[in-house]
Amino acid sequence: MALAIEKIFKDPDAIPALPVNFYKIMEAINDPDADVHEIADIISSDIGLTAKILRLVNSSYFGLSTKVATIPHSLNIIGLSPLSTLVLASALINQFDGIPEYFVTTESFWSHNVACGIAARQISKLKGLGNEELLYIAGMVHDIGSLLIYQEYPEKAKKALNQCNEWGINLVNAEKSALGFDHTQVGGALMEKWNLPQIIKETTEYHHQPLNAPQYKEEAAIVHLADYIVQSNQLGSSGEIQSFALDKRVLQFLDLPEKILPWISEKTIQNFEEVYNILAE
């Protein structure tokens, strides 16, 4: 399985690179000698990115009472970590061109994944975990392995999707049958290639089996629940039509009552359109 996945990553054209600015910002954030103005200068060098971040910071997603007019101001208001996740989110949505629309449209795919990020962030806030921006990215990238499979193995991917959508077979099982691996494993490998935090790798790799995650079970369970909520509300798609059944053990593990799901759905829907439109422009 590992060798089969590695075939994907041997094609340099198959793996889009994250923007240089993202790594520069992360390096500056982790540098104890870096100051806010240095980080602001890196972001401000990209006019389009600056405009997008300022729109996001002033959107209902953050719900700030103060209007933010500059990147330094936004850093002072929301902090470094949320800003780095916004940079990554705005870059990701413009990656992976050329996916055949037989599988999924770009708009539908990113609608699903952006909505999943918003739902995961909302659940994290509800739980008071303090890592809601990381959970937003975790939700946004959870199905990214599907795009690589569609791109590199279109015929086998078509077979797997047909088994899922027409016969009701679980997508992960259908992919393993057709390919020998599935989108969660490919996604986890991509997170490692991109050198993203281990929490993002695990939530991507275990979002269909969150209680098997070795270190970040709670975060993987949140992404699993967010995925279910978004599919139930038909906010985009990653290719599969069939909604997976919610593992009730996840609700028990997260200590959340099932009656809270409509509230999370409502909060997700409220923020979804505005955030997606900003990221996709």
Same domain for 226 and 267? yes
Note the pLDDT of residue 134: 87
Same domain for 63 and 132? no
Sign of CA dihedral 210, 156, 144, 170: negative
Same domain for 136 and 103? yes
Same domain for 166 and 240? yes
Q: Which of 68, 94, 120 is the last residue of a domain?
A: 94
64-86 per-position pLDDT tens digit: 888 988 888 887 887 777 777 77
Same domain for 41 and 143? no
At a CB cut-off of 8 Å and minimum separation 6, what does 93 contact?
A: 110, 114, 279, 280
Same domain for 150 and 234? yes
Same domain for 9 and 74? no
What is the CA angle 24-278-231, rounded to 5? 105
SS3 134: helix
**Predicted confidence band of residue 14 (pLDDT cuts 50, 70, 90):** low
Residue 140 belongs to domain spanning:
2-14+98-280
- Of 141, 132, 114, 111, nearest in space to 219 by CA: 132
Alpha-carbon distance of 55 to 247, in angstroms, equals: 36
Which of 5-9, 147-151, 215-219 shows the highest mean pLDDT?
215-219
Same domain for 80 and 102? no
Q: Which of 94, 119, 151 is the last residue of a domain?
A: 94
Same domain for 274 and 161? yes
Same domain for 173 and 80? no
CA–centroid distance for 141 within its chain: 3
Q: Is the pLDDT of residue 272 over 80?
A: yes
What is the CA angle 147-151-153, rounded to 5? 110
CATH number, domain containing residue 106: 1.10.3210.10
Q: Is the pLDDT of residue 26 over 80?
A: no
Q: Which two tokens stand for residue 177?
A: 């049958």
Q: Which of 50, 71, 94 is the last residue of a domain?
A: 94
Same domain for 266 and 152? yes
Output the CA–CA distances (angstroms, integers) from residue 204 to 170, 188, 268, in the order listed: 17, 6, 20
Provide the domain count of the chain: 2
Same domain for 69 and 134? no
Tokens 């986890």 map to which residue? 188
